[in-house]
Structure 1
Amino acid sequence: MAKPISKVLVINDEKMVLRSLTNGLNSAAKHLDNPFGITFTGATTATEALDVLAEDGEIQTVLIDDNLYALARQNENRQASALELVHCIHELRPEVGIYIMIDEAQQDEVVDVLFSEAIAGYFYREERDYRGWFRILHAQIGEKARTPFYDALHSYVLMAKDAWHTPGHSSGDSLRGSPWVNDFHEFMGEHIFRADLSVSVDMLDSLLDPKGVIEDAQQLAAKAFGAKRTFFATNGTSTANKVIFQTLLTPGDKLLLDRNCHKSVHHGVVLSGAHPIYLNSSVNKTYGVFGTVPKAAIFDAIEKHPDAKVLILTSCTYDGLRYDLPPIIKAAHEKGIKVIIDEAWYGCARFHPAFRPTALEAGADYATQSTHKVLSAFSQASMIHVNDPDFNEHIFRENFNMHASTSPQYSMLASLDVGRKQATMEGFKLLNRTLELAKELRQSINSTGIFRALELEDLLPDEVKHDGVQLDPTKVTIDISGSGYTTEEFQKELFQRYNIQVEKSTFNTVTLLLTIGTTRSKVSRLYDALMRIAREKRAPRRLYRAPDIAGFTRLKFLPRDAYYAEGEMMPMIDEDDHPNQAMFGRVCADQIVPYPPGIPALVPGQEITEEILTFLLGLMKSHKRTEMHGVVFDGYVPTIRVLKSEEESIIKPLVE
């Protein structure tokens, strides 16, 4: 089993002093208990120190001599100040602990200057208490590495208590030895059942009212992700978004939202009773990719609707496009609008400067993250991060408890605890590797001569090319149009012949998701598969482009009011299989979502037009793999639930 390595970088510009410090500390590390593998290395300049931090992901802590600060006052060109260096380190590696060596005589001056900074502690230079310093640094690294919930769960399982409580499988005893289902027990493994416990076990705390190890784990996560408060969610970011909506919005409150948001956001609109102001996202028709909402459209909506309570955007998008968030959030806050950023696909961003600023660093009030998508957590395991200065925890908790199960999956919670630990202790190193592999993969794809890895300029729709949008390099979109395959055939070939499963596709692209679990072996196998397919030299084929999504029409009623109406089912086609003209002008009562990509073509309360109906029918005929959520088939006839005429006359219409 691999053992951890933890390096402490000591910064002092006197080489002899630096050697004495590192030798003394390394000697202490050799003679004392050292389970984290702590070693000490040195740097003589701020530039050298920052270079080491940028290259070595095993640096966990930095020890800075405050003489750097004194020297800066004497000679501005000789050395960066300790204060400046602290800022730079925090900008580069916010997870790294920072300690300062000071002279006792200058204690007050130095501490006053650095008081508001993220300093873990101070050491008196004259003491040279290497063993004492080592113990403190060891304790600080140990604090970061704690997994309070997972440790409690692990300890409890090893106690081997007899279970006279839920769940019904009773630590797996109901399955073990069964002639019918023992294979499931063996396949899943013994510990998955022994760790599947319930709120009946007091020492494991309660997700709905955490006061022990769950609360402790959430506090460690908040510190790691740069939040004031963090909450664990066990039903994905879908539930996290709904909880925040119901916390911030009351019926009739205005909400600015990207129409491209995940369908859970649109469900949250229904549940909260909010009045949505939909913002149309940009579209790259060449590749069937939905981009960001144009910055000008966001600013315009903020100016037109200063009474809006909330703005929600998705950053980064499924395809890896991320907003230039700071100016957008600043504009919203100037009008008193709270900002929620759905970071479902961007939970790793805090742990490498290539991905920052995160939503919270850009000033967002709330960020929701699918920790399971890009970090080491089980599916459905997510986090809600809060930096709202007006956060009402009581209201939030009531809404959280409304949606959360009273029987959460404890292994899922443990995976959030462990995922946070890994991101904190080795996230920078792992993401460095992932970025290197992403770069290599793009070069390999392009070298085939048939396939092409799309770059930011390829993916950006024209209307957002000057919006400061950036691309997450770990989302790799491949143009396959020169391969002679349709995307369906290409994915089938990869899956059946080369044992490769991709993330998503459009009519002429496939998207690969690289994570901290991506290995060079996987990259090599993918490259080999692409080269073999490229050497077939199939003649390119015309690929049928999906119909353009219809533009948003008028919202006649609050989505909540339309959704909770009885409504009636109405056929989408007439007897001649043409769009049913009787539906034109009617109001949809459900959310109609072509999946993929999962963007609603209709939301409850929206007026149905010929354009929308034609789009939906064209999509259903041309792309049989597209799921159409919200459409119900009466035999072979597709139908949609619409408001009855008498309901339209009763429900209060929205004011234009």
Structure 2
Amino acid sequence: MVSGADLTRRFRIHTAKGRPMNSAGTVLQGYNNLSQYRKDTWSTLEEAAERLAVAAAADRPVDAHADRVSGLLERLNPIERYWAFPGPQAFQAGRRLFTAGKYTRFARAVASVSRALASDSFRNGIPWSVAAAITDTMDQSGSTTGTSTPQRPYFEVLVVEDMTEAQERALRQELRAWRRPDDEFIYEIVVVPSFEDAVIAARINFSLQACVIKRRFAQHSGRDMSAVAHFVDDRSPNDLMEHSVEERADLLGKALVGIRPELDLYLMTEITLEDVAGWLSHDFRRIFHSREGTLELHLSLLGGIEERYRSPFFNALQKYSHRPTGVFHALPISQGKSIVNSHWIKDMIDFYGLDIFLAETSATCGGLDSLLEPTGPLREAQDLAARTFGSRQTFFATNGTSTANKIVCQALVQPGDIVLVDRNCHQSHHYGLMLSGAHVIYLDAYPLNEYSMYGAVPLRSIKAQLLELRRAGKLDRVKMLMLTNCTFDGMVYDAERVMQECLAIKPDLVFLWDEAWFAFARFHPVYRPRTGMHSAGSLLGKLRDPQYRKVFAAWNEQIKDATDAELLDTRLIPDPARARVRVYATQSTHKTLTSLRQGSMIHVFDQDFGQKVEENFHEAYMAHTSTSPNYQILASLDLGRRQAALEGFELVQKQVEYAMRLRDAVDNHPLLRKYMRCLTTADLIPAEFRPSGIGQPLRSGLKNMQLAWRSDEFALDPCRVTISIGATGIDGDTFKREYLMDRHGVQINKTSRNSVLFMTNIGTTRSSVAYLIEVLVKIARELDEKVTDMSLAERAAHEHAVRRLTSSSAPLPDFSSFHDAFRPSPADDPGPGPATPEGDVRRAFFLSYDDSLCEYLMPELIQEKLDRGVDVVSATYVTPYPPGFPVLVPGQKFSRQILDYMNSLDTSEVHGLRADRGYRVYIDKALEIAREARDGASSRKVTNDGVPDYSASDFQDS
């Protein structure tokens, strides 16, 4: 029998500073969520228990096996209370079997738990017991043998109250008694006694979907929390117990919403409900009296899940697809009729299945809806999406975020409006601004010359540009700031701070956050505060807080005489009486959540949407949206929202976990380390933007990650694993095409001159990560053998390639400037301030439609002209892949820096550059025409808002 002291000693052997360790005392690598660590520990315990049972049955020494089992049990002991299966009581019953030396029975029970966790079969809702497991009445999946129960979605409910084991058992039995065979869902409860335990459970137990807060709970756990310290941030209010019982419940509710906003919260109290309901936070769905029993609570728990589970458009389409119809309309493929009777394309049904064609329809009635004028299930689906993603309105898009960006741009920007945009943005922004007639100011992101990629736009640069426009008297024309959050390479803005400081200068500035690759971020408590929609809601809450008004008044008094130079170094806050929160986010659901290709969403949090934007938005939406949208895409968006609302937290946590496993595998493998290295936060974000000073936030625990993401100007998405491959001597594009895709079928999107980017997503599995590691090791091994066998000449060539790829290339070029012909006329400049850099991309773009005004020049001829001081102006977008952003836009002047950079690129794919003819540029006559058209339009035609209006005639020969 093992004493309590022995167990404590063994537990200390297996832990260090709260980080899980293996039996040799080495810190376990790769674990960043406790759920995965728990499952793996149960799997290890199964194997250890089996060895112990076999040794005992054979009458061999068991001490070593018993020590190992004891250590594993002590790893699990402090964390099992946070899950309903197998439950703390069953866990302790199993431990008693071990302590009593009943090793065979113990091994059977452990195997039953381990297999049920691995297969998720515990979700079938069949009560599990140690007795059933050890008497072999549990089948191999963990279910009771011979029991057939329809699979229903399973969830767990957190109950927060300090109760005895008997009270907990009684509550569980009472709630189980209300179950009915026709219930759509099934659940079990997890009981914790304190604020601290509740917060931890919400962070680590993905199955939790609801929380019932009762009156009697403590502040602190009262147990040793070191085992979970690495995985959670267990902070709680210092003065919690000084508040009333109901105030403590409210504070706990707010804490849980901050971690898991999707959780349904319920309060059970014993005082007058009417008194509590009047002031309690809106975060609670219902309040119940403790003496009224649990039936209504049970029904409310199921109803809350049903509300999130609804997928109104998918259900309507599914129902419609099984109705017999007569189609006397377009779409011959409707209900598969053009395929079923075909002699030649029946294999289409074999491949896709019949249901996808049964659901093909062009109907906007009969239970369905119109995307352009939704009033039924589609509108309901979009409303549910708005609630899930924290927006005020959400619109579905069926042609990707490229179209979504153009819709927002056209809805908000008029010709002549000034828009600030990251030059290193997606091409859809460039085309959207061109179509809307915006006067564009391109902002430069900080360069990472060593890896031939850009970071993000420093806030100081944005503030400097806004202040410059204010000095020039043009701030009233500034309409929007467009930024990519997060960037392709994983740089994430502090969205709330950016908006806060910009609104202090321009109170009605509109923000468009391109979150094409960031839709998943809403469902992780660390990511969420840096998303556009959450930041908008948080900022509006601050502006409406009476205390904030006092803070602003004091701050405003302090800086009233500050110069612009001083304001650049000051943390600015907006005037709550003037600032308007106007935020848009476009997200590619199909890129990081579940949707068919091209499924995207536009999220709106705009205080002025109904008054200023709604009609224009509708027109822009009509202009860019097909009148024959793909209903399969729309239905998949509805289902993707459902999945995100119910299991987004779990899936994103696993996504992060697998990314860190990949990082650890690359950085700790001796052969991979020789040729590859995962770039860290410190590599990709300069120290000046990281006041926390933490170079690898996630690897140093959740608390450090939270600190970095709260305080640093930019954070790095850990799910973007950029691997430097310069030491291989193989450029990124070749590594992607020849080594990853052609040889091993590994697909990636992004490379640079000397790096490749791997991204985990909610569909990534441990097996796919293992396969990638296997592929990388195979490539490294082949390369190692090849280098070993090289001749002297071959080795010299290889070493030259390595030096070229591991040294900085030509510096990444900043945006040069627009040519004067495409800048505003001096007559249009209303103020005495300096000239500002905006340019009219639309005039420059459409001028090139007259081919007689353009010519092609090879780089050498352009260089000669630049040497003579002659301007050379691009007539088109020039975009190399990689890195995939326009180096030149229509109307932009060439520079020596741009030519040097283009000449240093290894990529063969450059849009806007013809290998046989060179770059398409404007001739001198075109620039004269553009200047005359600009000046003529300025003197002749003015719109109602004082902005020059241009028409096609302004681009013709004079």
TM-score, normalising length from structure 1? 0.92
Answer yes or no: is 1:475 the counterpart of 2:755: no
Residues 1:42 and 2:216 aligned together: no
* Residue 494 of structure 2: aligned partner: 324
Q: Match for 1:169 among 318, 330, 333?
A: 333
- Tell whether 2:738 aligns with 1:487: no
Residues 353-502 of structure 1 mapped to structure 2, 5 A cutoff: 353-357=525-529, 358-363=531-536, 365-391=583-609, 392-446=613-667, 447=669, 448-450=672-674, 451-461=676-686, 464-466=689-691, 467-491=712-736, 492-502=738-748
Distance 1:18 1:598, change over 3 A: same
Q: Distance in 1 between matches of 2:326 and 2:679?
A: 56
Matches within 5 A, 1:55-94: 55-66=204-215, 75-76=241-242, 81-94=248-261
Aligned mate of 2:278, from 106, 109, 112 = 112
Partners of 1:332 and 1:174 lie apart in 2 by 56
- Is 2:814 the counterpart of 1:551? yes
**What is the deviation of 1:287?**
1.3
CA distance in 1, matches of 2:366, 2:854: 50
1:8 Cα deviation from its structure 2 partner: 1.3
Residue of structure 1 equivalent to 2:269: 102
Change (3 A) 1:352 1:650: same
Give the corresponding residue for 1:215: 379
2:707 is matched with none
Equivalent residue number for residue 882 of structure 2 = 596
Residues 474-519 of structure 1: per-residue CA shift (max 9 Å, x gap): 1111112223433344332222333322232111111111111000
Q: 2:420 aligns with which of 256, 270, 274?
A: 256
Segment of structure 1 superposing worse, 131-140 or 145-154: 131-140
| Alignment match, 1:534 | 780
How big is each residue's C-alpha offset from its partner over 1:271-315, in whole Å with a ceiling of 9 and x where there is no partner?
Answer: 111111211011111112210111211222232235221111111
CA contact (8 A) 2:659 2:759 kept: no
Change over 3 Å in CA distance of 1:463–1:53 after alignment to 2: closer
Q: Tell me which residue corresponds to 1:585.
A: 871
Question: Which region of structure 1 is more displaced relative to structure 2, 607-616 or 343-352?
Answer: 607-616
What's the Cα RMSD here? Answer: 2.7
CA radius of gyration, larger in: 2
1:154-177 CA-to-partner distances (Å, cap 9, x unmatched) read: 111122423322323233332345
* Structure (1/2) with the larger helix percentage: 2
Length-normalised TM-score, structure 2: 0.64
Match of 2:891 among 601, 605, 612: 605
Secondary structure at 1:504 match in 2: coil
- Distance in 2, matches of 1:648 and 1:586, equals 14
Q: Distance in 1 between matches of 2:933 and 2:317?
A: 51
| Secondary structure at the counterpart of residue 114 of structure 1 | coil
Moved more, 370-379 or 190-199: 190-199
Offset, 1:3 = 4.2
Distance across 2 between alignment mates of 1:584 and 1:111:
74
Shift of 1:617: 5.1
CA distance in 1 between counterparts of 2:760 and 2:683 reads 19
1:578 Cα deviation after fit: 6.7
Deviation per CA, 1:149-207: give whole Å up to 9, x if none: 00111111122423322323233332345454333443233222222222444421000
Q: Do 1:234 and 1:408's aligned partners in 2 also have CA atoms closer than 8 Å?
A: yes
Tell me, yes or no, if the aligned pair for 1:11 and 1:18 is still in contact at 8 Å: no
Q: After TM superposition, give the deviation of residue 340 of structure 1 in Å.
A: 1.3
Secondary structure of 2:727's aligned partner: coil
2:460 to 285, 293, 296: 296
Aligned residue for 1:40, secondary structure, equals strand
User: Displacement of 1:604 after TM fit?
Assistant: 2.2
Residues 1:647 and 2:929 aligned together: yes
Gaps in structure 2 of 5+ consecutive residues: 1-149, 221-236, 537-581, 692-711, 788-797, 823-839, 939-946, 948-958
Note closer, same or farther for the CA distance 1:607–1:313 as it changes in structure 2 (3 Å cut): same
- The change in CA–CA distance for 1:7 and 1:377 in structure 2 (over 3 A counts) is same
* In structure 2, C-alpha distance between the alignment counterparts of 1:584 and 1:217, rounded to whole Å: 57
CA distance in 2, matches of 1:562, 1:251: 14
Q: CA separation of 1:187/1:627 partners in 2, compared to 1, >3 Å: closer, same or farther?
A: farther
1:346 to 1:146, Cα distance in 2 relative to 1, 3 A: same
Partner Cα distance (1:18, 1:109) in 2: 28
Which of residues 496, 510, 524 is equivalent to 2:756? 510
Aligned to 1:563: 845
- Deviation (angstroms), 1:19: 4.5
Q: Given the superposition, is the C-alpha separation of residues 613 and 415 from structure 1 closer, same or farther in structure 2, using an over 3 Å criterion?
A: same
Deviation at 1:35, TM superposition (A): 2.4
Check 1:170–1:280 CA distance in 2 against 1; reply closer, same or farther (3 A cut).
same
* Larger mean Cα displacement after TM superposition, 159-168 or 351-360: 159-168
Q: Quote how far apart the aligned CAs of 1:265 are.
A: 0.8
Which range moved further: 609-618 or 561-570? 609-618
Which has the higher mean CA deviation after the structures are superposed, 10-19 or 360-369? 10-19
**Contact 2:210/2:264, CA 8 A, preserved across alignment:** yes
Using the alignment, how far apart are the partners of 1:590 and 1:118 within structure 2? 52
Counterpart residue number, 2:432: 268
Count of aligned pairs between the two proteins: 644
Shift of 1:134: 1.1
Distance change in 2, residues 1:396/1:78 (3 Å): closer
Which of 3, 7, 12 is residue 161 of structure 2 equivalent to? 12
Which secondary structure does the structure 1 equivalent of 2:887 belong to? Answer: coil
Q: Structure 1 547/169 Cα, relative in aligned 2: closer, same or farther at 3 Å? A: farther
Task: Assess if the C-alpha contact under 8 Å between 2:273 and 2:288 holds in 1.
Answer: no
CA pair 652-577 structure 1, distance change in 2 beyond 3 A: closer
Instruction: Please give the alpha-carbon distance, in whole angstroms, between the structure 1 residues aligned to 2:728 and 2:240.
Output: 65
CA contact (8 A) 1:581 1:610 kept: no
Give 1:599's aligned amino acid: F
Distance 2:742 2:877 in 1: 35
Give CA deviations for 1:21-50 in whole Å, capped at 9, x if unaligned: 333223223x45332222222111111111
What is the SS of the residue equivalent to 2:406?
helix
Verify the 8 A CA contact 2:240 2:248 in the aligned structure 1: no
| Aligned mates of 1:235, 1:512 — CA distance in 2 | 25
Q: Distance in 2 between matches of 1:35 and 1:618?
A: 61
Structure 2: distance between partners of 1:413 and 1:81: 43
1:190 aligns with 2:354: yes
Structure 2 letter corresponding to 1:389? Q
SS at match of 1:281: coil
1:361 is paired with a residue of what secondary structure? helix
**Contact (CA 8 Å) 2:690, 2:714: kept in 1 or not?**
yes
Q: Residue 394 of structure 2 aligns to a residue in which SS?
A: strand
